[in-house]
Amino acid sequence: MSRPPTREYLYKILVVGDLGTGKTSIIRRYVHNIFSTNYKSTIGVDFALKVIQWSPEIIVRLQLWDIAGQERFGNMTRVYYKEALGAFVVYDVTRPQTFEGVTKWKQDLDSKVALPEPWGGGRIPVVLLANKSDLLQEGHGQPINQLEMDDFCRQNGFASWFDTSAKDNSNIDEAARYLIQTIVSLEEEHGSLVPHGLDDDDDDDDSIRLDQYKHRSNGGSGCC
């Protein structure tokens, strides 16, 4: 028997959250399996690519877009969000004020990006990451109440949530797998999208090309 043809999917995933919540650390751990406490704060947007053999027939190419915390609700976020199919919202479990920003990030996503029309439009799937859970084990911050978090996610339209640690490599693969599976299910339900960049004749002012943005950082340090 001949093998079924290989299908390749291109998914743009946003990673957003307040400054210093560990977005860059999560991406570096997931893509390169490395961790450092000396990442410089992201300015604007950074991105990373990861190719996944999802199944014998499916290859997923992820574009992970790391949106700087200080970009929150700025004019450029609509540009950065364009054509995204899913997102992570990240907060720091030891800093309650970063959790307060979670709903605002979610509302910003809901207002500026939607699923493609062939998939019925509507909100993109968003997963909440309660990051730096390793610090909870060291006695920093308040333990997470799972029932309260489940209820919070239902009320605010999150697809799910995971407690993560880039340092310990905890639940990052699981969270990514969950989000990818959600998007793959949309592919299988509604039909495959043709992976594409921008049309050559696209004059939309909100359009950007991936290669326009490289890593830009200031002299500060800390996990962003």
Between strands 58-67 and 86-92, the pairing is unpaired
Taking the C-alpha atoms of residue 153 and residue 144, their distance in angstroms, rounded to an integer, is 13
What's residue 78's pLDDT? Answer: 81
pTM above 0.85, yes or no: no
Q: What share of the chain is helix, strand, coil (3-state, %, to 5)?
A: 35, 25, 45
Rounded to the nearest 10 degrees, what angle do helices 172-190 and 23-32 cross at? 80
**76 or 202, higher pLDDT:** 76
90 forms beta bridges with 17, 129
What's residue 215's pLDDT? Answer: 35
Give the pLDDT confidence of 191-216 residue by residue, as tens digits.
776 543 333 333 343 333 333 333 33
First and final CA of the chain: distance in angstroms?
Answer: 50
Question: Which uninterrupted H or E stretch holds 92?
Answer: strand 86-92
Residue 136 has pLDDT above 90, yes or no: no
Taking the C-alpha atoms of residue 171 and residue 178, their distance in angstroms, rounded to an integer, is 10
Q: What percent of the chain has pLDDT over 90?
A: 61
What's residue 91's pLDDT? Answer: 97
Give the pLDDT confidence of 18-44 residue by residue, as tens digits.
989 999 999 999 999 988 766 555 445
Domains in the chain and their CATH numbers?
A: 7-190 (3.40.50.300)
Q: What six digits make up the tokens of 82?
A: 């364009």
Which residue do the tokens 């030891």 mark?
94
186 CA to centre of own chain: 17
What's residue 205's pLDDT? Answer: 37
Taking the C-alpha atoms of residue 36 and residue 79, their distance in angstroms, rounded to an integer, is 29
* Mean pLDDT value across the chain: 82
Closest CA to 180 of 209, 152, 159, 164: 159
What's residue 45's pLDDT? Answer: 67
Average confidence (pLDDT) over 150-179: 97
